[in-house]
Structures are given as C-alpha cells and as structure tokens.
Amino acid sequence: MPPKSQRRAPSSSSGGLANTYLLAYNLVSAVAWASVFARVVHLAAKEGVQNGRVYEQTERYARLVQTGAVLEVVHSLVGLVRAPLLTTLMQVASRLLLVWGVGYHFPETTRDSPAYASMLVAWSVTEVVRYSYFVFVLSGQGVPRLWTWLRYNTFFVLYPLGVASETWLIYKAIGPAEKRNEYLAYGLWAVLATYVPGFYTLFTHMLRQRSKVVGKKRV
C-alpha cells in the first residue's frame, strides 16, 4: 500500500532530537525490509513459491518487522510526522490483519500460496523505497532523482500487486475461519468489502502526493 506524506522538519533542539530519532527509525526500517525482500527473492528463486519454504523461512521475521510499523500510527498521532492519521491507520491495520489474523492463524491457506510471496515483495520494495527516501530527506543531503522517481511511480505497480495478494489470502482464509467461528468468517468478508473504498482512498492519496512533487518539478 502507498507510503505516507512528508516528514516534519525539525525547528528546535527538541525538533533536532525528533529528526535524529526519525532518521534512525527510517534507516532501521529500510534495512529490515531490505532483508525481507532478500529472503523472499532468494528462497523463491532457489525453491519456488508453492512449497511453503518462503512462508516457513520468512513468516515470523516479516510479522515482527510489520508489527514495528505500529510506531507509524504513534508518530502521526502525536504529530511527529505530517502523515494523515486515517491513511496511516488504514495501512498499518490492514497489514497487521494479514500477518497476524491471516498468515499467523491460518498457515494452511497461506503457506503454499504464491500470493504470500508476491505480497511480501510488494510490501518490501515499497517500504525500502519509502524509508530510504525519508533517510535522504532527514539527512539533509537531498534526495537522488532516481529515488524520487521510484518513490512516486513504483506504487502504480506495487500497490495493485499488494492489494491483489492481500485480498486473495484473506479470501482463502474465509473457509477455515468459518469452521472455527462463523462470525470470524463474516468479519473477513467485511474486511474484503473495505478494500474497495480503501483502495480508492489510499491510491488517490498517493496520486495527490505525486502530483505535488511533479508539479513542483515543472515550475
């Protein structure tokens, strides 16, 4: 799903501390997601994506890395960043559902699915670009032109890929969920229904961010 908007620039000593914290946070997050991407690609190339190896070797680590993104909501809530709280909450909540509610609790439908690998690829590439982009911004050294292009163009492919993978995994989990509790299955159906307005909200948010950057470059 799409990244959030620009980080707030520091304006005081406390702002300088916040800048240092955000720089470290984004750097660690970029490295963590790069590791997820490397693991998935290595395993997929070596052993394929339908034998459960990608899931077995990455599920726990990817779940840990994504859970750390709860801090994104905190950052937005306390005003540490300018990211809209609603879009941030939607993104983080949907991903937590996937790693905890689906991947962790329904391995029987997730383990051998190529959608699990494609989801992690979409997420990890998006996050490596996003977090490293903010590392450049917060370092004050400027953002390379290539990174700006990646930041505001790769979502055209990665976002639909991620959403398609996520919805497929949720759909496949409905059957096993219904056997445990029919209301759990209803809940997953309800989540699927939110993907239509959610896709529109988050995708148009990123389009607006892209138009601001492209507009500035044309002036």
**Residue 150 in 3-state DSSP?**
helix
**Residue 39 in 3-state DSSP?**
helix
Give residues with Cβ within 8 angstroms of 135, minimum separation 6: 23, 26, 27, 30
Does residue 61 carry a catalytic annotation? no
Choose the catalytic residue: 55, 133, 166, 171.
Answer: 166
62 dihedral zone (left: phi>0; alpha: psi -120 to 50; beta): alpha
Polymer length in residues for the chain: 219
Query: Hey, what amino acid is at 106?
Result: F
Query: What single-letter DSSP state applies at residue 48?
Result: -
- Are 127 and 151 contacting, i.e. CB atoms less than 8 angstroms apart? no
Q: What is the pLDDT of residue 218?
A: 57
Note the pTM of the prediction, 2 decimals.
Answer: 0.89
The more confident residue out of 206 and 122 is 122
The mean pLDDT of the chain is: 90
Place of tokens 């997820």: 36
Q: What is the pLDDT of residue 216?
A: 65
Token pair recorded at residue 55: 């899931």
Choose the catalytic residue: 159, 171, 182, 195.
Answer: 159
Q: What is the mean pLDDT of residues 57-84?
A: 95
Render pLDDT for 119-138 as a digit per residue (tens, 0 to 9). 999 999 999 999 999 999 99
**Is residue 7 very low, low, confident or very high in pLDDT (cuts 50, 70, 90)?**
very low
**Residue 72 in 3-state DSSP?**
helix
Render pLDDT for 189-204 as a digit per residue (tens, 0 to 9). 999 999 999 888 888 8
- Are 53 and 116 contacting, i.e. CB atoms less than 8 angstroms apart? no
C-alpha pair distances (Å), 46 with each of 34, 40, 182, 197: 18, 10, 39, 38
